Amino acid sequence: MSFTSAIFIIIFFPICTLSYFISDVKYRNILLFILSCFFYAWCGLKFFLLLLISSTITYGLGLLIEKNVNEKIKKIFITLGITYSIGILFYYKYFFTILGGLNLTPFFTNSGFLDNFSSPALPLGISFYVFSILSYLLDVYWQKCKAQKNIIYLYLYVLFFPKIVQGPIMRYGDFEPQLFKREMSISSIDVGLQRFIIGMFKKVVIADQLSKIISYSFDHVDSVGTISSWLGIVAYLIQLYYDFSGYTDMAIGLGLMFGFKLPENFSYPYVSGTVAEYWRRWHISLGEWFRDYCYMPLYRAFIKNKRLKKCKNLTLYVDLLALILTWLLTGIWHGSGLKYIFYGLWWFVFIAIERIIEYHKKKIRKKNKIKNKKESMPEIIFHYSFTIIAVLFGQVIFRSADLSIASAYVKNMLYWNTKDGWLFLLQLTNSTLFAIVVGIIFSFPIFPVLKQKVIERNIITQIVYRIILAVIFFISFSYAISAGYSPFLYQVF
């Protein structure tokens, strides 16, 4: 059930809000749990049962980890939890790809282990809820939060329908207080509804309208020219941002309508001056998850290692070592195959170069006793150019079916050719051009300024804004109904 589907907007969403609003406060968490179960079970009963089993195991392990004072026993339980969660993710996302890559198909099929050698359907939101489960278990183990005694509350944390499919990935420590203290008011419904409408507009009126030009450019690499290739990647950058941030806006909006504050996931990433800043602004909850649960534990482990302590420039060496492992895991999280490993390493190389440059700059400033960190205009231009190259070609890798296609696509971008002549103009419909222009404009933080300086000036501008939102909603809904089912891009991850 997609947020942009007719059944969600016309039936599920009104029933949810109305039943929640009229129900007694003490039953609202149970009601949300039931609604979330229905939402996820709609996508497939066997996936729903897998999710319930995983959540139940997590609940039990959380209690066992907290109860035991013996560190060795606690380590056994946390290892079991991590192994189970990663194992589920590995089986569905990587196992069959690896067997195929190792050419082990005949062995498994002929020996009777697998009757039909094909990857199973990927459970909806598996990467996101597995990370939620892992963060809960690790936080209990590290004593950052208490284990939840009420199994329904833990189920709700994992299953909460606004965030189950694509996040944002929320820590249990941030979610748990809101289970007991939150307020559903006319104001929160109003703000949440505004956010939901904006997210829907981003998805169906901007992101979805760019599919045609993107498919044309990426699916016909051998026959498209340089202009088509540049149009394709620019359109993809817009599509990916508006599709994913559109989902996040809708999820945050839905959360607000039920009194929950979900974390922000995007903060205008295309204004970033460095590659590291880009990843602090893009898919924020994922970046923070990898930072707190991969990079920092690895960094602390390496910095204490006796062999590594002998290294010159220890902090830089350890930083880069933890960084490369974290980015390898980030690439693998996005999918199986060499392309995703290369994708993770791509970002590591660019961020590592920035770290090395900054490390040596700090040493020079310290040596010369320079306190203020000032960058010259050439340095600023270098950083922005460096970031643009990383993002532009990094997302070519991400969108391409494999590395050979990515290589051919980059070649089309860098070496002028006119293979398809002016055929690409046929892909530029009015809706496509509108999506590109509006998408580029609002990729910059213009809307917050407009809202503060114009929309919130007085009651008249606020009324006009709400009328515009109503029009936007009906336009978006019309687009969604006419287009039919349109999955969010990150659903496959």
d(CA 202, CA 433): 14
| Backbone torsions φ then ψ of 371, nearest 5 degrees | -85, -45
- Polymer length of the chain: 493
Reading the block at residue 447, the tokens are 């809307």
d(CA 183, CA 162): 17
Contact 14, 48 (CB under 8 A): no
Instruction: Provide the 10 A C-beta neighbour count for residue 58.
Output: 28
Of the residues 220, 334, 360, 383, only one is catalytic, namely 334
Choose among 263, 254, 255, 259: nearest CA to 8.
254
d(CA 85, CA 314): 33
d(CA 473, CA 306): 60
Choose among 35, 34, 144, 135: nearest CA to 85.
135
Choose among 281, 249, 244, 247: nearest CA to 391.
281
Residue 283 annotated to the active site:
no
Instruction: Provide the 10 A C-beta neighbour count for residue 93.
Output: 22
DSSP letters of 19-55? HHHHS-GGGHHHHHHHHHHHHHHTT-HHHHHHHHHHH
d(CA 140, CA 312): 36
d(CA 21, CA 36): 16
User: Pseudo-torsion of CA 192, 437, 218, 271, nearest 10°?
Assistant: -70
SS3 3: coil
Task: List the catalytic residues.
Answer: 334
